[in-house]
Amino acid sequence: EKTALLGTAAIVLAIAAAIAQGFAIALATGGDFAQGTVLAYVAIGAAVVALGGGVAAIALNRGRRVGIVACVVAIFANPYLERVLGA
């Protein structure tokens, strides 16, 4: 029996990446560039992993709908992925 656990994990990670990106922007705007930069890199990594998890969930039919949402959130939550993928 297939479960949607992979898609669910991907969406949770994508949302966490979006939140981390927001905090990174807030930190950098507030003048703490070093901490903001580190958090932004963590958000980029989390979004890339979430995108991979979403693609895997779609391909393996392990939470396909949630995986699609995870991919969209991961792309739009991360300016670097937006630039790379041309979104």
Q: What is the DSSP string of 60-71?
A: HTSSHHHHHHHH
53 touches 8 (CB < 8 A): no
pLDDT tens-digit map of 62-81 = 999 999 999 999 998 887 76
Q: How confident is the model at residue 2 (pLDDT cuts 50, 70, 90)?
A: confident
- Rounded to two decimals, the pTM is 0.87
Type of residue at 20: A
pLDDT tens-digit map of 22-63 = 999 999 999 999 999 999 999 999 999 999 999 999 999 999
